[in-house]
Amino acid sequence: MGLLSVIKSGLSKTREAILGELKGIVGAGKVTDEMLEQLEEHLIKADVGTEAAFLLTDALRENALGKSLSQDEILKILRSEAERLLVDPPPFKVQGNPHVILIIGVNGAGKTTTIGKLAKRFQTEGHKVLIAAGDTFRAAAIEQLEVWAERSEAEFVRHQEGSDPAAVAYDACEAAKARGCDIVIIDTAGRLHNKDYLMEELRKVVRVMKKLDEAYPHDIWLVIDGNTGQNTISQTKIFHQSFPLTGLVVTKLDGTARGGSLLGIASALKIPICWVGMGERIDQLVPFSKQEYVDGLFENALDIQE
């Protein structure tokens, strides 16, 4: 499956949630205040977030209030406002030798799966990747990552179940140098942002790595489950206060009707969405692109390109 089809089919439920009812609201006669109110309410229900819903509706108010526009013209205005709310992430660049990426997030968000997908992608691009089992809580978590290491043909570092994740991270960075790897990706146990001891454990991981190189980790990516919708925003803010996040990964956009939440996330947080998970398979992680995302939501351009 090509990239565009992955995005388009992944967003199908979200597209249905946003466009289905929306087409019933707009495009029947003049754009009125009442219609705009209905639209705003609908967008909030579709989990676009209150701020983004307001901004989208407002763009229509400014451009179209009192005018008779076709449905397509209205969708075009919404589409370009949606695109304006989003930012493209900076392209990924290896900044260190090795470049170290720490992956964090709550339980079940998709961290381990994302690491497998990233490892595969980076390996395919010609990098030599090492992944490290920093989730030492359960043996199963270590084994799960080991399977992804095999699939992606990445190097793998693990300690025993119950060992100190900071020691795993430290060893991983050293091993990467010894084995000539240029990217290290470190898995961590799922943690709630409101559990202090777990946050402290993560701080230690960062602190210990910095003993090797002050620049480590170059990236801290928070993985969030796309099903969580707007609820993820407060969670992300708290993580961001403790750890300077350099990017977000939003997973499970394929199974959810709440993929519009990316608009809310982007307008509420100044953290780039770097990757999106569009399925469980190894090739179903795609770099976030605002244009492809918006095309996926509003159909049009994708149909032409395919």
Ligand X SMILES: Nc1nc2c(ncn2[C@@H]2O[C@H](COP(=O)(O)OP(=O)(O)O)[C@@H](O)[C@H]2O)c(=O)[nH]1
Q: Toward ligand X, which CB reaches closer, 57 or 113? A: 113
CA-only gyration radius of the chain, Å: 21
Q: Which of ligand X, Mg ion, none does 57 bind, CB closer than 5 to 8 A by kind? A: none
Q: Toward ligand X, which CB reaches closer, 150 or 303? A: 150
Q: Which of Mg ion, ligand X, none does 113 bind, CB closer than 5 to 8 A by kind? A: ligand X
**Spatial distance between the Cα atoms of 70 and 72, rounded to a whole number of angstroms:** 5
Closest distance to ligand X from the beta carbon of 130 (Å): 18
Where along the sequence are the contacts to ligand X (CB under 6 A)? Answer: 105, 107-113, 190, 223, 251-252, 254-255, 277-280
Q: Which of 287, 279, 195, 289 is closest to 242 using CA atoms?
A: 195
**Spatial distance between the Cα atoms of 73 and 295, rounded to a whole number of angstroms:** 15
Phi, psi (rounded to 5 degrees) for 152: -95, -5
- Scanning 5-13, 37-45, 104-112, 192-200 for contacts with Mg ion by CB under 5 A, the matching segment is 104-112
Burial class (CB in 10 A: 0-12, 13-18, 19+), 269: middle
Closest distance to ligand X from the beta carbon of 288 (Å): 13
Q: Toward Mg ion, which CB reaches closer, 143 or 153? A: 143
Q: Determine contact, residues 55/268, Cβ cutoff 8 Å.
A: no
- Please, which residues have CB within 8 angstroms of residue 126's CB and are 6 or more apart in sequence? none
**Spatial distance between the Cα atoms of 72 and 32, rounded to a whole number of angstroms:** 17
Q: Does 114 help bind Mg ion (rule: CB under 5 A)?
A: no
Q: Which of ligand X, Mg ion, none does 107 bind, CB closer than 5 to 8 A by kind? A: ligand X
Closest distance to ligand X from the beta carbon of 140 (Å): 10
- Scanning 36-44, 77-85, 111-119, 271-279 for contacts with Mg ion by CB under 5 A, the matching segment is 111-119
Closest distance to ligand X from the beta carbon of 55 (Å): 27
Q: Toward Mg ion, which CB reaches closer, 112 or 251? A: 112
Output the six-digit token pair for 108.
């079940």
Residue with tokens 């209905």: 38
**Spatial distance between the Cα atoms of 60 and 54, rounded to a whole number of angstroms:** 10
Using CB under 5 A, pick the residue from 57, 112, 114, 251 that binds Mg ion: 112
What residues line the site for Mg ion (CB under 5 A)?
Answer: 111-112
